[in-house]
Structure 1
Amino acid sequence: MMNCFPVLYQDELFYSIAARYKRMCGIFSKKALYRDFCNTEERQIFMYLPLHIKALVGNLPYSTKITESYIINNHTMYPYLTSFLSNDRADIIYSEMLAGSKKNLLTYVGANSTNSRFDKHLKYCNQCYKEDLNKLGESYWRRIHQIPGVLFCKKHKSRLIESDVPTNNNVNDYFCADDVIGNSIITSNKDKSLFEFYELNIKYIEGVECLLNSKVQRKDNSFIIDYYLSKLREKKLASRSGSIYMKEFLKEFKEFYPASYLYSMKSYYDCDNANNWLRLFIRKDKKSKSVLRHILLMQFLGVDIKDVFKTNDVEHKKIVAVINKPRLDIGERKEQWLRIIKENPGATRRQLKDIGKGVYTYIYKYQKEWYHKVTPIYENIKPKGDIVDWRERDKKCLKIVRRVVVELLSKPEKPIRITKNKIRRECGITSYFKSEKLIKTHEYIDSVVEDIDTYRRRKIKWAIEEMNEKGIWVSVYKVHQYAGFGEVKDEVVRKMVEKIIGE
């Protein structure tokens, strides 16, 4: 049972509460802090989605009015990160936060992907810090300042400053805001970059505030996508049947948001890339989608976030029935077709079809027997093909293969082994790929294909790099599992992992 507990400040990050309690009680050991908070010496006070909240509330002084729900909804990132999840999934996360979990909850909510991660260090507003010292005698870390994409302090209209306190899940220590900021105080933020996008970012921040401070009625992903489609129709960017005019949509989104702002929000995209995030974002699938990008899209569509969650009905795809009424009767159609045949002697059926498309379609659909009776058949003799310039083809093929190999090696997901068949499939070259006349192409392929050991080493290094980036403890067993080798049975692989970890 705790004898004291800090006053909880408005929008204070749970990590900040733990840091102030540690300083208040003069605790030096992290394990002692964990025992006071969670009745366990295991690391459970994570930066954004802390665990064992039920145990913490049970340890608070008897006179406290602090509840589990109050802490989770007002001092953690739970309201923000679960806004666009199903009720079932959000309830699972809530339960895990109450009781404790072995899961990485940030990964579970989709906040550990490259474009959804929190910033690497805690951020603060210099003016807020000064006000806190004058009013409270201390300062604290604010939740909203840590949200991805929040670039400014809305209250003071100033750029946020990055501290030296890391935000990964492997929390090494708990630092009070005034202890950190006081040692590196900046009297004024002279960095004026991005101020031209201040109004855009303030609109985004208002959306974040809505998710943090309002208890929204969650909608499933299918409903949200239908809502977006209905708004795209209003902007003339989608058809009545629900088909999105993708080229115009991508172009207008980029015109609405300047490129440098999209870069700052980790949401820039290439319109020519068939797999850019905006194309994939409006698909109906079960993947967790970035909250930041939901807000960006709503801002572009000109909708209030509260309205999205208050809406119960949305216009789904409309089935549009088109009834074509022929302008000419069947006799006139036949006369037209006979005229086309007469005016194009020697033409093949394919050529006649191209010449009289509308007439052909109607005749073939309703008068197929008559069509075959009157339409002549001529063979389309193809001219003998040109002699292949294999030297030029080799150059082009080599260029394609080089590009494919670079793309395979630079993919962020688990490495794929570079083999001849894999290169061939990715290039889409089948008929002449194995030709011995592609000399330089095959020389290059032989130089880049991976034997099993080379591939294993690359996969191990990728796994270690990913684990370090996500704050996962690196051990032989964990690297073995993360890289996808299965159980640690292969002695060769185990020794290879040990050697690379030790490098």
Structure 2
Amino acid sequence: MLTYFPVPYEDELLYSCVARYALHTGQADNQKAVIRDIFGIGTAVAIPDIPSHLQDLSRNVSRVWKTNVNQLIAEFTLAPLYFPFLSEMQVRQTISSMASKEGGKIHTRMGLVASSIQPPTYFRFCPKCLEEQKRILGECYWLRKHQLPSIDVCIKHNCKLENSNVYFHPKQKHHFHSAIKECQPCTAQAIEVNKDERRLIEFHEQLLMNPILQGFGPNRWSLFYQSLAKDLGFVHKNRVQHHDINLFLRKKWGNSRFNVYLDEDNSNDWITNLFRKHRKSFHPIRHLMVTSVLMPERTLSEVLDLVAKLPTERIEPVKITVPTDMPAVQIKSHRDEWNKLIEDNPAWGVKKIRTLSSGSRVYAWLYRNDGDWLMFNSPKEDKSTMRRKVVDYQDWDSKNVINLEAIYAELVQSKERPRLTQSYLVKQLPRANSIQKHLIDLPQTKQWLDSHAECLDDYIILRLNTAYRIIIEKNVEVKRWRLIRIANIREELITNRIENEIQLLENKGK
């Protein structure tokens, strides 16, 4: 057992506590010794977000820190960010793995490995938070809220989070890097954060500050979003209007720093699937981008309370059979009449037979009084529907190209247009879903889309030039940070080509 372990600071990663222990005990260069001290084993891996071996750690530090596995998970890891959006089984298995020595499958089990939203490349810090920590505490540490995937702003100081010198998942698997050694003081870059962006970031931080070690499961979230769509008027004739929801969310997030999660190819699919029956879990930012703007009067705690009250399993309607004491002769009479209708109309299905006056009457009587027999003695399909219309792919292909040319000419003139991805362009066409499925049969359409679809660099450069014109019109100095902010560009998306364009615009504005 250890006789010393540093007192954790507010919102500190457990990883950071271990790194400070190594520094305080003079073992920063002997990480194997640190791992043996903390975990009692020399093979534990330094995982920053969702670590394992927590049972061993809590036991080894129990003399100086009375803690347990659940407290460590809730207050010093990033697991609470994900738990409410997973199934109960996933959460139980994750907590069990985090407590044990078998943590190799944690990220896969939680769906993080396959997710398109990846953790930050480097540990990050806020320059102003760093100064405060050094001034008040005499040292600095890694904050959990600065390592959240997709969040690159410190809303406490309204400045951009800076990358440190150490990878978030470094190649040195057993090394715990301390913030005080890896963070270089720098000037904070001011960031403007609008109301919706701030609320979304606050929702992320609230998941960490008010942890829920419970998975609500897919059925609860399915029912919640179906009810939400109905309450907000996005349901027509019992059908969710996915297109209207997409338009609303695009309007809300289209000009924000989070628009990248709407502009990717097939990005609309996750919104549509979110309002359908859930067959998989969704990344927290997906949920929070929707709930934060569709429920502006609700706090995150209130939203989660609503979800928690819903049933964990789908309640199937109970089939009620009404017992009857019908005479056998009456049953036989109706059966014979139904069989005669089928015999007289061999090409008809049930729906067409019921259009007959006698057909509707007989079907209704049998459905109420002899339902099981009716189900086994009905036409299986309407044979008339077997005559399918032959699709003229060549004509369809040519019309698509004509429509695309007209749509494209209008879109490129729009000052605040979205990125013209292949998926977005197809969605502007009639029968868009069918086109996606039959692109192999539509060679002209596919060739046109391949040649006109806009790559991410081109779209970002377009936004930079729009930002440049706005700055010039306002008669203010053209600065790199100002271009990036007005163009809503994430730092990690800036390639060499984009950086060259930024420098070109800066020089042009002098």
TM tier relative to shorter chain: 0.5 to 0.7
2:196 alignment counterpart: 200
Partner of 1:161: 162
1:257 to 244, 253, 261: 253
For 1:77 and 1:53, the matched residues in 2 are separated by 14
Pick closer, same or farther for the CA change 1:389–1:125 going to 2, 3 Å.
closer
RMSD (Å), alpha carbons = 3.6
Q: Distance in 2 between matches of 1:274 and 1:158?
A: 28
Tell me what 2:371 maps to: none
What is the SS of the residue equivalent to 2:52? coil
The range that moved more, 127-136 or 29-38, is 29-38
User: How far off its partner does 1:59 sit?
Assistant: 1.3
1:367-389: CA deviations, max 9, x gaps? 899xxxxxxxxxxxxxxx9xx99
Residue 310 (structure 1) aligned with residue 305 (structure 2): yes
User: How far did residue 288 of structure 1 move?
Assistant: 2.3
Which residue pairs with 2:178 in the alignment?
A: 176
In 1, Cα distance between the equivalents of 2:177 and 2:185? 15
Distance 1:50 1:169, change over 3 A: farther
SS, match of residue 163 in structure 2: strand
Structure 2 CA distance for partners of 1:68 and 1:252, relative to 1, 3 Å? same
- Where 1:7 maps in the other structure, the secondary structure is coil
Superposed CA deviations along residues 235-265 of structure 1, whole A, max 9, x for unmatched, are 2112362x2112211111101112453345x
Q: Residue 230 of structure 2 aligns with which residue?
A: 233
CA apart distance, 1:362: 12
Q: Which structure has the larger Rg over C-alpha atoms?
A: 1
Size of the aligned set, in residue pairs, is 335
How far residue 2 of structure 1 moved from its aligned partner, in angstroms, is 1.7
Amino acid at match of 1:212: L
Structure 2 counterpart of 1:26: 26
Give the structure 2 partner of residue 151 of structure 1: 152
Does the C-alpha gap of structure 1 residues 362 and 58 become closer, same or farther in structure 2, counting only changes over 3 Å? closer
The one-letter amino acid of 1:366's match is S
Where does structure 1 lack aligned partners over 5 or more consecutive residues? Answer: 320-360, 370-384, 397-409, 411-424, 434-440, 442-503
Equivalent position of 2:188 in the other structure: 188
2:279 aligned with 1:282, yes or no?
no
**C-alpha spacing 1:260/1:206, structure 2 compared with 1 (3 Å):** closer
CA contact (8 A) 1:152 1:202 kept: no
CA distance in 2, matches of 1:108, 1:368: 54
Mapping for residues 337-376 of structure 1, pairs under 5 Å? 364-366=355-357
Aligned counterpart, 1:245:
241
Contact 1:267-1:293 within 8 A present in 2 as well: no
* Higher mean C-alpha deviation, range 61-70 or range 155-164: 61-70
4+ runs deviating over 6 angstroms: 315-319
User: Residue deviations 1:458-487, cap 9 Å, x none?
Assistant: xxxxxxxxxxxxxxxxxxxxxxxxxxxxxx
Alignment partners' CA distance in 1, 2:359 and 2:93: 62
Runs of at least 5 residues in structure 2 that lack an aligned partner in the other structure: 318-351, 361-389, 402-421, 423-436, 448-510
Map Cα deviations across residues 24-68 of structure 1 (whole Å, 9 max, x no partner). 111122222221121221132311111111111211152432333
Distance in 1 (CA, whole Å) between partners of 2:49 and 2:58 is: 18
Q: 1:298 to 1:32 in 2, by over 3 A?
A: same
- TM-score, structure 2 length as denominator? 0.58
**2:21, 2:264 → 1: CA distance?**
44
Q: 1:363 to 1:83 in 2, by over 3 A?
A: closer
Structure 1 residues 232 and 32: CA distance shift in structure 2, 3 A: same
TM-score normalised to structure 1 length: 0.59
1:292 paired residue number: 285
Percent pairwise identity: 22
CA distance 1:105–1:274, shift in 2 (3 Å): closer
- Larger mean CA deviation between 111-120 and 11-20 belongs to 111-120
